[in-house]
Amino acid sequence: SHLPVSLRPTAWTEEGELMAFEHRKLPVAGIQFHPEAYLTEHGLDILANWTRHYHLAT
C-alpha cells in the first residue's frame, strides 16, 4: 500500500490502484501488467508505450 521514498508512483487505475512506479534517481521502473491484458483492445498499446518510454529514458 505504500512505496519506499525512493520510488515514485507513475500510473493508477480509475479506482486508485497503483499500476506503475519508477525510482527517483536510478533507471528502475515497474509496471503491473497481466499477460491476459495483452489480448484486450488497448493491451498491446499500453505495453508498447511503456517500453518505448523507458527505452528512450535510459
Structural domain boundaries of the chain?
7-57
Residue 48 DSSP symbol: H
Q: How many whole angstroms separate alpha carbon 58 and alpha carbon 55? A: 6
Q: How many whole angstroms separate alpha carbon 43 and alpha carbon 37? A: 5
For 42-51, what is each residue's pLDDT tens digit?
Answer: 777 877 887 7
What is the average pLDDT value for the chain, to the nearest integer? 81
Q: How many whole angstroms separate alpha carbon 9 and alpha carbon 7? A: 7
Grid cell at residue 27: 533507471
Q: How many whole angstroms separate alpha carbon 51 and alpha carbon 6? A: 21
Residue 38 has pLDDT above 90, yes or no: no
Q: What is the pLDDT of residue 53?
A: 74
